[in-house]
Structure 1
Amino acid sequence: MPFGLKNAGATYQRTMTTLFHDMIHKEMEVYVNDIIIKSKKAEDHLVDLRKLFERLRKYKLKLNPAKCAFGAPAGKLLGFIVSKKGIEIDLVKIKAIRDMPVPKTQKDVKRFLGKINFIGKFIAQLTATSSGPSATQTGRPLIMYLSALDGAVGCVLGQHTDSGRKEQVIYYLSKKFTQYEANYSFIEKSCCALAWAAQKLRHYLLSHTTYLISRSDPLKYLLEKPMPTGRLAKWQMILSEFDIVFTSQKAVKGQAIADHLAKNPKDDDYQPLHTYFPDEKVLFVGAVKDMSEQCPGWRLFFDGAANSFGVGIGAVLVSPEGKHYPGAAKLQFACTNNMAEYEACIFGLKMALKMEVKELIAFSDSDLLVHQTLKQWVTKDSKILPYHCNLLNLARQFQSLEFRHLSRARNAFADALATLSSMIQYPDELEIEPIQIQLQDKPAHCWAVDNSFGKNPWYNDITDFIKIGSYPPEASANEKGFLRRMASKFFLNGEVLYKRTSDLNLSRCVDEDESQYMMKEVHSGVCGPHMNGHLLARKIMRTGYFWLTMERDCIDFVRRCIKCQMHGDVIRAPPTELHSMIAPWPCSMWDMDVIGTIDPPASNGHRFILVAIEYFTKWVEAESFKHVTKKVVANFLRDHIICRFGVSETLITDNAKNLNNDMVDGLCEQLKIRHRNSAIYRPQMNGAVEAANKNLKKIIRKMTEKHWDWHENLPYALMAYRTSIRTSTGATPYSLMYGMEAVLPAEVEIPSLRILMETKLEEADWIKQRHEQLSLIDEKRLNAICHGQCYQRRMARAYNKKVHLRTFEEGDKVLKRILPMQDEAKGVLAVSSHWTSGNGVDDPSDVRPVSQSMTREPVLGRPPRLPRILQGSTATSRPPLVTSPLIISAFTTRVAPLTSSILANELLQVPLLDEVSRDPGHRSGGYKSMEKSLH
């Protein structure tokens, strides 16, 4: 994003809010590019940081290490101090006022009072209402008063209040000009002062429009320069990203303060800015010196806590040797915070008297108790007076008792005891054993060789042998020899075991948890390319890590990777064996489909071809139309099929709307015809008609000379198809339908033997021969059935060689295949996955692709002159009688032998058997039949 855009800050803020919406106001606060992670407990802070880093890694965001600080109890954000106490005003913002030279002479005092009185003329009740700097308010412009004198510059940043009549101060600035800056002209001093003030107040000016009030207009001087050079160009570049508007001076009340700051600049030299946000520096990060060195002797730390659970007190008595004696108590009566502090102090003093301590230093984070005990503040509260008198009486029993104040962060032990005792509900007469706190100077993984779920790592025996030369119990002589040979290839450095590689390098041995982390980071981390298991194992080995089952574990890990499964290749291997559909007698089963759109259309405007095929004889009926509407389909079914060949038993179509309508359903219901639909996105279900479409288009291509007369060649193409022997039946559709072969045009030109013999027959003999042919037609059809069954078995054997059997059960988690025609699969870079994740499936019929319109592509024509026909689905080269009626695709969840449940990278396809396909309930994709076949 370029600099200088007004909406840059708002856009960036909206982006950060979107990315961290679930963490804002809980674990973190975000303002533009400033992020603060806040935690109440130290152990929670690491968890919150890890969550932040994972979110940053997910969205590819980077952090500048130079601007990051960790573990800070307090810091600056947007000009304010953020700490455990809350949000406080930053004293640096009023440093210019606080560090003004103290008046030393009578003239200086008169000058200072004159300035104050001059300002007081414009402000009512200045003494009563004056306060420190205020925070900025969104939606209102800022006002900058700038004054540049001969040797110094002063600046006041302000903003109008809600009423718009008063101004509130936000920031004071002043500085001396350097020796070479003092030689600038007056207008150049104003430009230098404006650039310096804009850099100092950049985080304010970027998000607000700023009105500049000054004696001169430095913006006009800078912008009117046609070719600024040197320092003018530098100042112009600095001011280009701000929205600053010059306003002529109409009043002197604000300018007077700026002039006063310019006449009384800070004594220290100005240091140029090195960061965009100087106020983001952390107050302090580091360890505090040991208090035992500062305060030798007995020390007492005490604190009280009052919350909704109750009131508790805690005290820790520390000996000169550093031994801690903690104590805590829960108060069973109503008590305020200040009363709890006094109770904790008295409780700790009594502990010290029981241990015969004579000299004691007491530390507390309560200002009230410390100052009242030191008699610096007066005790007026009637509830505190009895505690104060009791405390003074106890103090007289010590030879030396000193009270000191310390921060809450350094009184954490006593505060923790008080909070713990206040929150725990104690039953009656319950004694709690003392709490023992151990100190560990090393992480847990350094105290023992990393245990995995209570078990020793795989290299435990090797480590024990290298360390102390011990063998595993019950090890045989051969096993001991094998362990000695294996241990010679390893090297132990402290608590870390290394494996010597063949190229004389060392690879660190990792346990189960570390190996899982390494595989996850290398495979799918920031730089993880999601490689296969073999490459993953080799990359980890090159990185310098080793475990015994590295390659096998990497292969299993990659198989379980969700991203690799979702973007994996489409599985082509069929999951079940081939099942074919067979028509029991001629004209009992018809399949119907549409070829189109044909572009350019024929001379009569026809753009579609409606095709129907009979399953037994492979007889094809087809006719061209301008539009294939529901009325056209119903008339074609009535005129070309029912009225010519009789009422059929079954009609199969795809899920197109023009083939599935009320007119067609009404006609089928009237004549008791079962109308079935093929599976969506499964053209193999209509394999017979798809194969017929392919052959018809090939014939039309070769017959057509002009692109507008293809409709005239359609009847000849149908005759050619009907009189050709089909491989699946071993006979022509014409002979199986009518019991004789048709007369071809070639037989008319040059009469064949059949034609010559028939011409010599008398009419009565021809009729008798025709009756004999019709009597033998059943034998021909039986031979066609036998031929078709042999052909189907031969095709099934070839098909079943590629079958990879898979199972699918209800409740399994699956990945649904994304088909090419769906929106998820479209894109310029094709970045969408082949699969999309699915939830647990209660019904197998729910796992199916989403219904979409089919994409049509040109498949017919001889460019540039011949037409192009867009077919409804990809034609299959599989014979028409061996197509699977219903297939669905999905991923299923299985249990691996050595791992937990994973998403198996398998394609599920469920075929529909013949007896199931004739189920009357198989409609609209056949989901009811699919459920039956699955069960």
Structure 2
Amino acid sequence: MSKKLTDIPNTIVFIDNIYIKGSSLQDTWDTLCKVLTKLNECEFKLKPEKCKLFVTSLDVFGFRVDKHGVNIIKSNIEPLINAKAPTNLTLLKSFLGKLNYYSRFLKNMATIITPLYECTKKDKFNWTPECESAFKLIKEKLASANNLKHYDPQLPLILTCDASDTGLAAVLSNRDHNGMVQPIAYASKKLNDVEKKYATIDKEAMAVIFGITKFYNFIYGREFELETDNAALVRIFGPTKSIPKMAAKRLQHYAIFLSAFNYKVRHIKTSLNPADFLSRTAVDVEEENINVIHSLCASTNLSNICHVNDSEMESLNWKIIQKETKKDQILSKIIRYMVDGWPDKTNLPKELLPYFNRHIELSVDRGCVFWGYRLLIPSVLRSSVLTELHRSHFGIIRMKEIARSYFWWPNLDTEIDEISKNCIVCLQNSKSPSKIQKPWPIPPSPWYRIHADFLGPFNNKMFLVVVDSYSKWPEVFEMSNITSGRTIEAFKHIFARYGFPVHLVTDNGRSFTSSEFQDFIKMAQIKHTFSAPYHPATNGAAERFVETFKSAITKIKEGGNSLAYAINLFLSDYRSTPQRTTGVSPARLMLGRELRNRFSLLRPPPLTEDIYNKVQSREQGNRETKFEVGQKVMVKDYRRDSKPWVQGLIIEESIPNVTYIVDVEGMRWKRHVNQMVTCSDLLDLG
């Protein structure tokens, strides 16, 4: 039949079926007459009851095809939609087999039915609540499957790819003349156990290769747009750029494979990606803020994140506190009462009572009022101090601990409580209370037992987190990769700074369990303990810090700051803040002193520092020691029976601002500035 009807346009023969199409009723009629005439000439016979003429849609292999596209025949999927939950592996595999036939209509299918696939592993049927939820959800998706458009080679072609922790996805679409993107087909694939351990960028790259191979017949030989929400792949797979030499071998192989295709790669936001699998909450951060890399982090593959103090509070210091205290009506009264004596409590207004209750402990230093070691902030500056206090987005308890170490005013605790309640960033990112865990034994000294863990991918980066169990002092290293070699290099940096600990606690990651890392630990004679499998809470110190780190960095970044700024600010404040478990700051226990930070500027310098500066200034004197060549000076004369000073003319500068060559009566003398004094240019040297 194919050979006999091959010359008739708009006619397709598939096995024993003949399909005829036409743009109009007359066009279809003319084609039908040609087909019937040809079949009559070849003596083919047709059964009238099997012929369907002049219909607007065709039912083919369980799909309904019309001018709008391809859809599922609802009557064919009713047994699947009405199916009861499987009770054994045979029924479950049968359901999955039938479901796969309609995969091109189901977006995110591989991720949704992951619990069902897990149920088929090791031939052990275990129907869990997750399986039940996935079973109901996939039936709802199937019942509401959208119509797929026909592939049009004349319209721009778009391939959108994405990956999740459990699967890959691709969407093939056309962009019509109105700019609307219309899906042609969906495709998805479940990752195996090995592929699930790949890095995020490798999974995203696999999704691109999967989408191209899946829709190879549509895209090979023609130009198409490749969309991904991974910015790094745009640079690596960009057809106008060379393959990066430092990219992983797997990504280089993928890039070579893609060189055979004609495409333009484009980065899209995750929230706009129709192939997005990821069940995570999208953070609305501007792209330029994400791509900012601090020079400290960019200078090396292994970057130690230091506590660099970068604050907008530099204009607020103790001199401004001193100035505003004099203007503040309440604090100026407090100072007067401290000099002249306090009146009876019953004669004081209500706003002065909190100060009266503490009047024995109040003192004045350089015009600033103190309650013990806490500075009393004037009312006009309190909002600025509160804003700076909340810049790290710490919790209420931690903010109160910072405040109690530096400043005070009435109702301060209440105002701190209101900060978090009125901060939308804190409310959106608040976490549930932590579970109670059996604590580790208290180590006898700092850097005795340390806890280490990997954090990430977080903002497309991996970090090594190390926390000292005694002082809670944290160290954070940005890692280019988490191989054993890189991990050992990071620990060498830490051990060079603080020495070898006695005890190291980690999880069971391959970087820590490798023979290379174990040899390194044995060489340093460090006891190495692993957390229990599937129980990360055993490594509690590192796990808790990881949660605090991610939460705080996310909130600081949402304030419009770069990642490097957020990390530096967080570490600086965390190390300076008293811990709830120890009652003192990590810096005090680890270094034996407090770190000088932006809140330290609120306090006047110690009196000893002022005295030292005055004495040093007096010892140095205020004499002008700047001389110039050609200048007349008086220089010290050490000749016997001569006057102490003699006139001379500077002819050369030996050591700038220190020693000079002076012409004295035709002789060249070298003199120090302490052996020279200025004199009038009108004096006669003769």
Fold match (TM-score > 0.5): no
TM-score (norm 2): 0.27
